[in-house]
Structure 1
Amino acid sequence: MKRMNTQMDWRSLASLLLFPVQMVFYVVKAAVLLLLPARLRELSRDTVLITGGGRGIGRHLALEFAKQGARKIIIWGRTEKCLKETCEEIRSLGVECHHFVCDIGNKEEVYQQAKAVREKTTKAFLPRMLELQHGHIVCMNSVLALSAIPGAIDYCTSKSSSFAFMESLTLGLLDCPGVNATTVLPFHTSTEMFHGMKTRFPKLFPPLKPDMVARRTVEAVQTNQALLLLPWTMHLLVIMKSILPHTALEEIYRFTGSYACMDSFKGRT
């Protein structure tokens, strides 16, 4: 027993000494991969389902997937007029597109439309993805999931919850070949939802353009990137919160500045 305990102590010590080496290796590996050109996965076999595809980032995502050669696009949303317009634009690119009016906050409606989608494409959701060993789930979140701001408690809480869900799902999919997940965490984006939002340094951190967010998201799907922060400077915020949490919170408070239309956050998820 004593000999066994000694062996366990040596193993623990070896693991402890090896950990910094492993961390350095992963950092160097990540740096090298950033310098190398990414190999993009073909989308010609893929059917893409986008919720909220009639407007905002969802619309730009649908168009970007079409431009990158996705086989079929399916868009969900609450406003049929917007869905039709987006669908027509996608079809003009020579890509098959279908739209369904669906409020994803309504559970029964989601199941109803999911059944319709499965019957029309047969590859809509996770169980089928696992069965086929082919699929990708994308969550369009917000950097506020990692760093809350004053005056938007409900919004930040919902985004943090969504981030935790996706992180857990992504880990679970590591044992599922062919099925991956991507969580996108953009900064302030120039869409209708964030109209009137002001930051402390608008010239240094201008609003992100929806088409850029869409383009980078599709690239993340094609390279199986699990986490995408936009812009890249948001990584510095995460590092700062880890090393100097109190200072980071004070800077976030100063940085956020004033919000002309904070009411726009209420009820949004």
Structure 2
Amino acid sequence: METNLSLGDTLSTVSFQNKIVLVTGASSGIGKSSCIEFAKRGANVILVARRKEKLEELASQLKKYNTKILVYQCDISQKEQVEKMRTRTLDEFGRVDILVNNAGFAIWGSVSKLTIEEIESQMATNYLGMVYCTKNFLPKMLELKSGHIVNVASVAASFGLPGIASYCASKFAMLGFSEGLWHELKGTGVRITVVSPIMVKTEFFDNPSFKSMPKSSTALSANTVAKAVVAAANSSRFEIIVPGIVRGAVWAKHTFPYLINPLVGSAFKRQMRE
């Protein structure tokens, strides 16, 4: 399960001409940037998110690439809405070649202070929304013996961090589900790749709860992660960590948890206190 990635070499020759790409959480951040990157490379893109006006703004931006764009307003945490989205998409295009499960959000705060509803809502969108989309589009991919699922997780899928425990749980779940499915899909012609970035500068942090979160100077741009998403859609790797150097930290955490966990926990708790 190689995690290293040379984006420059990987993307220089990649084309998605006439491919059908569906991106959830397409209204902003990584999702929006991913839609632009796919459209640049000739893909027909299905824009999925809750904010229809934002999707329509993006659709207008994508017109210059002369590809087919479909705007679909959908809350992926609602499985009935996902089923309707699948029906409309397959009626329109007949298939989805690349499914990018990107929609997600976090609420900053200790477990003792978050409500059960706030914890449940993160799991409903970040994990179950991914499951609903995968379950709805995977059968057609298997029938055609072709397709690629790209799940946008986080380095928080490998580190349980204070302040975002419920978000980490949703990404741990996504990573575990994806790994199990990766094994199941061997030999089917369908692939799955997880993209796990560190902190990214997006509207993700617009939630009022993040006003008290420690700020990081190492956050990535949405476009950097979007390029990793595009590369993932053409990769046989299971997980791509962005930036690649962070895979060393993930390896160390899994190899020496008794050393790394106390260091990470104390660092974040100290920042929370400050």
Q: If the length of structure 1 is used for normalisation, what is the TM-score?
A: 0.76
1:52 to 25, 44, 47: 25
**Kindly tell me: are residues 253 and 151 of structure 1, through their superposed partners in 2, closer, same or farther at Cα, counting changes over 3 Å?**
same
Q: Return the match for 1:114 from 86, 96, 101.
A: 86
Offset from partner CA, 1:162-192 (integer Å, 9 cap, x none): 1111111111111212x21110111111112
Q: Secondary structure at the match of 1:174?
A: coil
- Could you say which residue in structure 1 is the equivalent of 2:99? none
1:52 and 1:59 in contact (8 A); partners too: yes
Taking the aligned partners of 1:116 and 1:168, their CA distance within structure 2 comes to 29
Q: AA paired with 1:94?
A: N
* 2:214 paired residue among 179, 198, 202: 198
Instruction: Give the counterpart of 1:61 among 16, 30, 34.
Output: 34
The equivalent position to 2:72 in structure 1, one of 88, 100, 118, is 100
* Contact 1:188–1:194 (Cα < 8 Å) also in 2: no
Task: Measure, in 2, the Cα distance between the counterparts of 1:67 and 1:157.
Answer: 34
Percent sequence identity over matched residues?
Answer: 29
How far residue 211 of structure 1 moved from its aligned partner, in angstroms, is 0.6
1:221 corresponds to: 233
Amino acid at match of 1:198: P
Distance of 1:107 and 1:68 partners within structure 2: 31
Query: How many residue pairs were aligned?
Result: 226
Structure 2 portions without partners, runs of 5+: 97-136
Distance 1:129-1:41 versus aligned 2 partners, 3 A rule: farther
**SS at structure 2 position matched to 1:258:** helix
Match of 1:181 among 192, 198, 201: 192
How far 1:226 moved relative to its partner?
Answer: 2.0
Equivalent residue number for residue 139 of structure 1: 151
What's the C-alpha RMSD, in Å, of the aligned pairs?
Answer: 2.6
Secondary structure at the counterpart of residue 176 of structure 1: coil
Deviation at 1:38, TM superposition (A): 4.3
Measure the CA separation in 2 of the matches of 1:255 and 1:230. 21
- Deviation, structure 1 residue 65: 0.6
Correspondence 1:144-183 to 2 at 5 A: 144-177=156-189, 179-183=190-194
Distance 1:140 1:174, change over 3 A: same
Q: What is the match of residue 75 of structure 1?
A: 47
For each residue in 1:189-216, what CA deviation from the matched residue of structure 2 results, as whole angstroms up to 9, or x when unmatched? Answer: 11122355435xx44xx10100110012
TM-score (norm 2): 0.75
In the alignment, is the contact (CA less than 8 A) between 1:42 and 1:222 conserved in 2?
Answer: no
Contact 1:57 1:213 in 2 (8 A): yes
Aligned residue in 2 for 1:130? 142
Name the amino acid aligned to 1:48: V
Task: Name stretches of at least 5 consecutive residues in structure 1 with no aligned partner.
Answer: 1-25, 261-269
Q: Does 1:87 align with 2:100?
A: no
| 1:137 Cα deviation from its structure 2 partner | 0.6
Letter in 2 for 1:194: F
Aligned-partner Cα distance in 2 for 1:174–1:241: 28
Alpha-carbon offset, residue 235 of structure 1: 0.9
Show the counterpart of 1:6: none
Give runs of ≥4 in structure 1 deviating > 6 Å.
none
